[in-house]
């Protein structure tokens, strides 16, 4: 049996690694020239940078053991993450997560957070309809006003009423009441302890990706965008834009689900579904000249921005690896009026806001600027999307097409979640023999 894998991001590569260990034949198709998907390290001159944050941690000891078993050199770090907050032209660097960082707020804002939090907790609600409902009626008006509502409105490419509680259960770990109250009293509280320490490859996250793929590089077809899937009796013919054609027995798709739907010919499958929503992201790298340094947030690994800055997050690459030159990456969701800006306008606005927030001292300190636009960076867990995913999974598996991964199965998960999903897939499809049926 031969398996065709669509996409050489982390999901596709980890699946390839697992298949190779089992002696199962496969081929991977990747539209980009570089493997890794979102887990790529880009080189701009002498500057190395990632597409967002790639801190390596996990609640699952098997995952952390796997990371450490690889022949890679890591930098071990204690998380330093801040939220940029202002009042009356004064800025505050609030510790992350926000609930445990309220001690860093000005007193009046802290009191609003405490009052709103206690008020909602006294109501005792346990069930919430969507993200906005949870923010307003579990966290309270103060936390909503000073962080959760403006930040989530800024990052997501849809209204918060459309985002399901799956986001909270999968990605947000609400602070215990005791920790919140201790923080409100001015105590230092470490939130989300499972990610308080992390590792990162000294040569960039690309080193992890390359090590994952090292044993089967000859089975990866880069610059090979899949444009058509043709059913040929009991097999599938994969047709690429560059003219490559490959016949396989089974297909595992890790490419964005919304793109897969465009190339599937099945009357039971629609081309578009309203509940399938996502973010597209502009990543802007700023590299500094030799001898120059960042100012505000220079010691942070990453930081969140909830106000009128164009970016919602920045990542300080030098703090991930001592081998890197001082560079940072700003992330901008492609929504609203930003969709009408060209690349130069976006880069200029990023620099303007970095100067205004005093993250860089002066524009002359900048040596390099590069922008990468990446579609489908965040699949959004909308209300009702799980029902659609379940239906599509059932229909496509009958045709021997399997959905897997962050974009392939439309699961908003981190790197460790990707590895866990691949492991579960291998168990259900091979150890239990389902794919062989």
In a domain, 195, yes or no: no
Token digits of residue 410: 């439309």
Q: Which of 251, 218, 228 is nearest to 4 (CA)?
A: 251
Q: Which of 230, 229, 97, 88 is nearest to 172 (CA)?
A: 97
- The whole-number average pLDDT for the span 392-413 is 96
Cα–Cα distances in angstroms (integers) from residue 355 to residues 65, 154, 296, 328, 349, in the given order: 41, 20, 10, 13, 10
Q: What is the DSSP string of 223-244?
A: S--EEEEEEETTEEEEEETTS-
Pair 262, 287 in one domain: no
For the cut 80, the answer to whether the pLDDT of residue 435 exceeds it is: no
pTM for this model (two decimals): 0.96
CATH number of the domain bearing residue 209: 3.50.50.60
Phi-psi category of 320—alpha, beta or left, where left has phi over 0 and alpha has psi -120 to 50? Answer: alpha
Domain count, the chain: 3
The residue with tokens 């996409």 is 7
Q: Which domain holds residue 238?
A: 2-39+204-276+382-431
- The whole-number average pLDDT for the span 11-25 is 97
Say what the pLDDT of residue 437 is: 54
Neighbours of 125 (CB within 10 A): 12
Pair 338, 409 in one domain: no
In a domain, 320, yes or no: yes
Identify the band that residue 436 occupies on the pLDDT scale cut at 50, 70 and 90.
low
For the cut 80, the answer to whether the pLDDT of residue 119 exceeds it is: yes
Q: In what order do the strands lie in the sheet with 250-253?
A: 220-221, 25-29, 2-6, 250-253, 401-403
In a domain, 329, yes or no: yes
Question: Vertex 238, ends 420 and 1: CA angle to 5°?
Answer: 60
Say what the pLDDT of residue 258 is: 97
Computed over every residue of the chain, the mean pLDDT equals 96
Q: Which of 189, 427, 151, 94 is nearest to 307 (CA)?
A: 151
Pair 177, 119 in one domain: yes
- The whole-number average pLDDT for the span 157-186 is 93
Q: What is the DSSP string of 111-149?
A: HHHHHHHHHHHHHT----SSHHHHIIIII-HHHIIIIIH
Say what the pLDDT of residue 172 is: 86
Higher-scoring residue by pLDDT: 271, 304 = 304
- Which of 344, 365, 380 is a domain's end point? 380
Share of the chain above pLDDT 90, in %: 93
Paired strand residues for 77? 198
Question: Vertex 226, ends 220 and 230: CA angle to 5°?
Answer: 115
Pair 29, 118 in one domain: no
In a domain, 86, yes or no: no
For the cut 70, the answer to whether the pLDDT of residue 111 exceeds it is: yes
- The whole-number average pLDDT for the span 24-32 is 97
For residue range 367-391, list pLDDT tens digits in order: 999 999 999 999 999 999 999 999 9
CATH number of the domain bearing residue 357: 3.90.660.20
User: Rounded CA gap, 6 and 104, in Å?
Assistant: 46
Say what the pLDDT of residue 74 is: 98
Share of the chain above pLDDT 70, in %: 99
Pair 410, 333 in one domain: no
Token digits of residue 349: 């606005």
């Amino acid at each position: 049996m031969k398996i065709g894998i669509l996409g050489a991001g982390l999901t596709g590569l980890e699946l390839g690694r697992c298949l190779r260990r089992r002696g199962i034949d496969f081929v991977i198709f990747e539209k980009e020239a570089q493997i890794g998907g979102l887990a790529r390290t880009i080189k701009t001159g002498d500057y190395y940078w990632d597409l967002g944050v790639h801190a390596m941690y996990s609640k699952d000891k098997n995952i952390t053991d796997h990371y450490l078993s690889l022949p890679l050199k890591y930098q071990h770090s204690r998380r330093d993450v801040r939220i940029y907050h202002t009042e009356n032209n004064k800025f505050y660097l609030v510790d992350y997560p926000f609930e445990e960082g309220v001690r860093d707020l000005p007193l009046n804002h802290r009191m609003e957070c405490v009052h709103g939090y206690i008020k909602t907790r006294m109501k005792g609600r346990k069930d919430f309809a969507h993200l906005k409902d949870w923010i307003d009626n579990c966290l309270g008006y103060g936390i909503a006003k000073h962080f959760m509502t403006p930040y989530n409105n800024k990052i997501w490419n849809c209204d918060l009423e459309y985002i399901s509680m799956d986001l909270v259960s999968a990605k947000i770990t609400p602070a215990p009441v005791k920790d919140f109250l201790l923080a409100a009293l001015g105590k230092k509280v470490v939130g989300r302890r499972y990610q308080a320490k992390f590792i990162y490859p000294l040569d960039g996250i690309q080193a992890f990706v390359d090590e994952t793929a090292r044993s089967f590089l000859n089975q990866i077809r880069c610059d090979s965008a899949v444009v058509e899937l043709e059913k040929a009796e009991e097999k599938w013919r994969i047709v690429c834009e560059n003219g490559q054609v490959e016949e396989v027995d089974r297909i595992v798709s890790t490419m964005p689900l919304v793109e897969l739907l465009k190339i599937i010919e099945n009357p039971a499958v629609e081309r578009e579904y309203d509940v399938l929503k996502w973010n597209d992201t502009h990543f802007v790298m700023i590299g500094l000249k030799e001898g120059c340094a960042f100012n505000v947030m220079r010691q942070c690994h990453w930081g969140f921005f909830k106000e009128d800055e164009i970016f919602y997050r920045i990542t300080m690459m030098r703090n991930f690896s001592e081998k890197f030159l001082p560079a940072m990456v700003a992330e901008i969701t492609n929504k609203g009026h930003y969709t009408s800006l060209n690349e130069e306008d976006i880069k200029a606005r990023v620099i303007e806001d970095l100067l205004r927030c005093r993250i860089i001292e002066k524009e002359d300190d900048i040596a390099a600027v590069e922008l990468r636009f990446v579609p489908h960076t965040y699949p959004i867990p909308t209300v009702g999307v799980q029902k659609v995913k379940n239906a599509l999974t059932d229909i496509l598996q009958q045709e021997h097409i399997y959905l897997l991964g962050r974009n392939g199965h439309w699961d908003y998960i981190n790197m460790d979640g990707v590895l866990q999903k691949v492991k579960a897939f291998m168990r259900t499809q091979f150890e239990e023999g389902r794919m062989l049926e």
